[in-house]
Chain A
């Protein structure tokens, strides 16, 4: 085999050309990873929002909490269902919740508002819903106009600090705590006591009831039993599936954007790789002739030049991955059109994503290097030495 050292040194001999190509590949890989991370963060925020061991109940036909309505009576019936798990305190792990959207003005641009979720909850919500924890301040007290603010809202809107007064729905609410929820969409919400939220907004009914399944494996049985009960006209969803499905349009759009942008950039980067490699082959024709004369086979020459392309692509891909890394954790927001609410999420780069990005870069290098390498291999010695 032609020693790889030959390719490595040859690459160094054209430092500007090789590095330009590598940087071109790096940029594409970086953008690719960043876009994947954007989509991943968005999906993760929604996916982490639900657990497999919980079920969400909405009114039949409603596709989001926003359009649902569940009476107190129905909530009571659900709480007494045998499919509901019992908590350590002996009470059913059931959380009836109110779901409304309030307009909060954006601090930097007072003309525009964001629709933020206010969720009316009971104490059970903190136990039933996944991973929710108060990280600062005191828990909500019953009977008070108090709110607990999700972590991701902090800094993006005014009057959310501990002790501040937030005005909405014609009332003044006290900010008593901040909470985290494992990076899920709950972190973009404001929680208050459901009995306080109800009269202010939509009347004497809840929007959803979430409960812990006694037997997570028996979800289908629970679903059938509850849905066929004529007294409760509802749909039962597994909590994880429900929120995952909400990525819907926004998720599709992000994916579409990612694919379109990256493909076009990739095309450009591949051309760069092809150009570099063709030039490399062209300027080294006599060397190739010598190699062939010495007895190396054409396929070895092909592999050799392909390896060189891959070397450049590897350098570029790793650089691209490094360029993309700082993006990790940056918080951005958009509207989840399924629930019409604003959801904040962070770019999320995982090792898998980096690996995909680097692999993508290598593929670009291979594709770009193939035809020039092919040409090198097909060189006739006689031609080359002329």
Chain B
């Protein structure tokens, strides 16, 4: 690329202007990557779901419970391998300003069903053994500095009173959708303290094989259709997806913002390119006199825009990719596993290319088409 020094020198003509323009492109692509990653993370998490796991809810609504005695009935159905259950505890820690999920589970069956929840076997054993024990996610341990053996007290909101648990394990999830900031404790403990209530929030059903989802779900719902508490069973994936749907029109909103951002930046870059081009009419004329063809000059101007776009893209996208894992960003717990995907980077690169072409096009054409004599006359 013999013309590279020339392109570089032209960009160095106004170092401030070039730097500012590159910074704008960096800002825009960083923002683009961030916004798109919110959407991709939500989409990925919405697709989380064990291939063999179903979730059974009270048909009337998510917030209603079902008798825990259903477990045995479900287990006896054909195609069902195992059943566990969980309750949303919804307690408050401290001033309640930070939010994390707490779940009352049946430890042995639940942990067996979720191999994604990983912790050292002795911690798992300690948790299962002790009625008032709890396990917490890695992030919670870091955030509050909780250690194994420490007591933690929550104020119950749904189940009133003070609830104290002893931390016996710290887990790391192998799938980010599970979230590394939850707390799990014994359902037995909850049930006992509220006077043998015997209610489960939802059931998790593990099937013998993955393909039977439709049949097994129907079998479960048929079982309880005419009882006082009817159920609605679906795949775990559908369950997860419904939460993502709760964020409403977010994707539309982010889409609009993303477009506005890209457009705004296009303007800044195009503006800078055109200002540069206007100042160089004379020089373009001289180059043409030397024998530089229209096509060569077109390419040189486009290359200038291209260089700005490429540098901006690499730095903008690269920073986004590196920044979020560095600060362990997870969107206040709503975007676990937040990550800038390769697809996002590719889209970002595409935008940079389009940017280059669009902003360099007009000045490049002007340079190519400029009649030499007129331009020279301006100079002399």
Contact = CB atoms under 8 A, between A and B. Distances in A.
A adjacent to B, CB under 8 Å: yes
Interface of A: 16-17, 20-21, 23-24, 27-28, 30-31, 35, 38, 59-64, 66-67, 100-103, 106, 109, 111-115, 168-170, 200-202, 249, 252-253, 256, 260-261, 264-265, 267-269, 271-272, 274-276, 278-279, 282-283, 332-335, 337, 340, 342
B275 A334 contact: no
Contacts of A333: 248-249
A201 B230 CA distance: 12
Contacts of B148: none
A20 B250 CA distance: 29
9 contacts: A35-B257, A113-B242, A268-B264, A269-B264, A274-B16, A278-B17, A283-B279, A333-B249, A340-B62
Interface in B220-255: 230, 238, 241-242, 245-250, 253
A252 B332 contact: yes
Contact of A62 (B31, B60, B160, B279): B160
Contacts of A28: 264
Interface string B248-280: 111001000100110111011011101100010
A111 B243 CA distance: 11
A170 B230 contact: yes
Interface stretch (B75-83, B107-115, B121-129, B151-159): B151-159
B178 to A, nearest CB: 19
Interface stretch (B4-12, B18-26, B289-297): B18-26
Contacts, number: 166
5 closest A-B pairs by beta carbon, nearest first, are: A112-B245, A335-B246, A67-B158, A334-B248, A272-B268
B63 interface: yes
A331 to B, nearest CB: 9
A264 B246 contact: no
Nearest to B160: A61
Given A27-B261, A114-B245, 17 more contacts: A23-B267, A27-B264, A31-B261, A38-B253, A61-B155, A67-B90, A109-B245, A112-B241, A115-B63, A264-B30, A265-B264, A268-B265, A271-B21, A272-B271, A332-B249, A335-B248, A340-B62
Interface of B: 14, 16-17, 20-21, 23-24, 27-28, 30-31, 34-35, 59-64, 90, 92, 96, 99, 155-158, 160-161, 230, 238, 241-242, 245-250, 253, 257, 260-261, 263-265, 267-268, 270-272, 274-275, 279, 331-332, 334
Contacts of A169: 60-61
A24 B267 contact: yes
A17 B17 CA distance: 14
Prevailing SS type, chain A contact patch: helix
A272 B24 contact: yes
A112 B249 CA distance: 13
Of the listed residues A23, A111, A264, A337, the one surrounded by the most CB atoms of chain B closer than 10 A to its CB is A264
Contacts of A282: 14
Nearest to A372: B16
B60 A201 contact: yes
Contacts of B60: 102, 168-170, 200-201
Nearest to B92: A63
Contact of A114 (B157, B246, B260): B246
Nearest to A262: B257
B99 A249 contact: yes
Given A20-B271, A23-B267, A112-B242, A278 B16 contact: yes
A274 B20 contact: yes
B96 to A, nearest CB: 7
A100 B242 contact: no
A79 to B, nearest CB: 23
A275 B96 contact: no
Contact of B64 (A202, A275, A278): A202
Of the listed residues B14, B59, B158, B274, the one surrounded by the most CB atoms of chain A closer than 10 A to its CB is B158
Contact of B246 (A64, A109, A278, A334): A334
